[in-house]
């Protein structure tokens, strides 16, 4: 009996001690062998060249501003980071460089980049990204790889909005909104697929350079250039019901790439300002509204100089195999000057319908080699 009493007294004493002991917060991340109970504390302590590694999933309503001026790695280690705040989960300030690895994030607004950020691997299921700029400093975002399957409403605008420098070298992108740039955007690779109510890439100013990548849109343009300059050196572009690349108020330079409109009924590409084309394969017609020069490339449809345009063709290949229209068929010609001026100095032109060129609605076609004119079937219709 005495032993039981002593045991009970000891047990009660132990429980009393444990109940009074302090409760320590769980470690959520580490730098090397040192653990931290909050990511903010780790970011405040990190030194140049070090790595912060997330240890467990994090759910938060707070925002983290990274203003330490350091260069470091933030390894999410594929641990889910969920932020339900109305503002950006992370802000990278000017002077700070962060490399993000093994990202796994869901947020309303994910990153605001005023410094430099590089995403090398991981995934995002939701969240805006904004590359910011101010009067003296432009943010820079580099995406090397990752899966970005963004779920958001179509009317919420672009999920990635660039006002600084954006470079994408790889990754898989399936979004509910477009990628928009008003400064400098370079695409070297990646797979971009979208069937929603926006184009995949939108250039609203500055310069966009596309050197590679695969772009497929089910409804709208793969690329639309509203302003600035668009340069395409490579890549594959597909669209179903509308032109693949549409340059509204931007100048265009194309040296390569494959452009496919999978459903007939309109132009494959449409350029409304100055355009220089020296390469590329166009599986759909070219609609040229401004001053355009063709120095290379080929199409399986036709080249159209639209009203008011001036088009010079020094070298181009047209193989027109569309079935002839019923009635007047100038739409089936290899070259069409529709109330526009077109000069042909060289190239190769084949039409299974026998239609070489058409000058309609006051349009004029001039041949640099006079003997060429007799090789084309001249069609003149009144419309």
DSSP assignments along 230-294, one per residue: EEE-S-EEEESSS-SEEEEEEEEEESS-EEEESS-SS-SEEE-S-EEEEEEEEES-EEE-SEEEE
Domain membership flag for residue 55: yes
| Assigned token pair, 55 | 């240890």
| Assigned token pair, 188 | 């070297």
Given a contact cutoff of 8 angstroms between Cβ atoms, the answer to whether 178 and 153 are in contact is: no
Domain membership flag for residue 239: no
User: Which whole-number Å values give the CA distances from 186 to 31, 45, 142, 159, 212, in the listed order?
Assistant: 33, 34, 10, 17, 10
Domain membership flag for residue 368: no
Q: Return per-residue pLDDT of the chain as tens, 383 residues.
A: 555 555 555 555 555 554 444 434 689 999 999 999 999 999 999 999 999 999 999 999 999 999 989 999 999 999 999 999 989 999 999 999 999 999 999 998 999 999 999 999 999 988 889 999 776 778 999 999 999 988 765 556 788 999 999 999 999 998 755 788 999 999 999 999 876 656 788 888 899 999 999 998 876 777 887 789 999 999 999 887 667 888 888 899 999 999 988 776 667 888 989 999 999 999 888 999 999 999 999 998 889 999 999 999 999 999 876 554 444 456 677 888 999 999 999 888 887 765 677 788 889 988 887 666 555 544 433 32
Domain membership flag for residue 135: yes
- pTM of the entire predicted model: 0.87
Cross-strand pairs, 296: 278
Domain membership flag for residue 332: no
Domain membership flag for residue 171: yes
Other CB atoms closer than 10 Å to residue 375's CB: what's the count? Answer: 10
Domain encompassing residue 80: 28-177
Cross-strand pairs, 97: 71, 116
Domain membership flag for residue 262: no
Domain membership flag for residue 235: no
Which of 146, 156, 173, 166 is CA-nearest to residue 78? 146
Give the number of domains in the chain: 1
In eight-state DSSP terms, residue 17 is: H
* Alpha helices per DSSP H over the chain: 2-20, 39-45
């Amino acid at each position: 009996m005495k032993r039981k009493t002593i045991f009970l007294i000891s047990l009660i004493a132990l429980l009393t001690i444990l109940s009074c002991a302090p409760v320590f917060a769980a470690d959520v991340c580490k730098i090397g062998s040192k653990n931290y109970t909050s990511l903010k504390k780790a970011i405040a302590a990190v030194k140049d060249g070090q790595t912060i590694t997330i240890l467990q999933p994090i759910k938060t309503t707070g925002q983290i501003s990274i203003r330490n001026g350091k260069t470091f790695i933030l390894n999410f280690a594929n641990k889910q980071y969920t932020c339900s705040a109305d503002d950006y989960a992370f802000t990278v300030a000017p002077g700070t460089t962060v490399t993000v690895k093994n990202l796994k994030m869901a947020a309303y607004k994910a990153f605001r980049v005023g410094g430099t950020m590089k995403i090398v691997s991981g995934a995002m299921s939701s969240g805006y990204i904004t590359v910011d700029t101010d009067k003296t400093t432009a943010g820079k975002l580099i995406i090397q790889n990752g899966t970005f399957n963004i779920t958001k409403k179509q009317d919420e605008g672009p999920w990635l909005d660039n006002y600084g420098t954006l470079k994408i070298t790889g990754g898989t992108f399936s979004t509910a909104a477009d990628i928009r740039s008003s400064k400098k955007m370079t695409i070297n690779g990646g797979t971009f697929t979208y069937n929603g109510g926006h184009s995949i890439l939108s250039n609203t100013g500055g310069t966009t350079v596309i050197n590679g990548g695969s772009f497929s849109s089910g409804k709208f343009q793969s690329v639309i250039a509203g302003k600035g300059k668009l340069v395409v050196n490579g890549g594959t572009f597909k669209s179903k019901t509308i032109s693949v690349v549409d340059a509204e108020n931007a100048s265009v330079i194309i040296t390569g790439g494959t452009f496919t409109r999978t459903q007939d009924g309109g132009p494959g590409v449409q350029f409304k300002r100055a355009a220089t084309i020296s390469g590329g394969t166009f599986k759909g017609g070219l609609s040229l509204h401004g001053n355009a020069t063709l120095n290379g490339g080929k199409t399986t449809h036709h080249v159209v100089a639209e009203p008011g345009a001036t088009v010079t063709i020094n070298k181009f290949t047209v193989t027109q195999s569309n079935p002839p229209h019923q009635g007047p068929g100038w739409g089936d010609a290899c070259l069409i000057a529709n109330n526009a001026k077109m000069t042909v100095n060289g190239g190769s032109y084949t039409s299974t319908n026998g239609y070489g060129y058409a000058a309609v609605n006051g349009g004029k076609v001039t041949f640099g080699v006079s003997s060429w004119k007799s090789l084309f079937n001249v069609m003149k219709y009144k419309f």
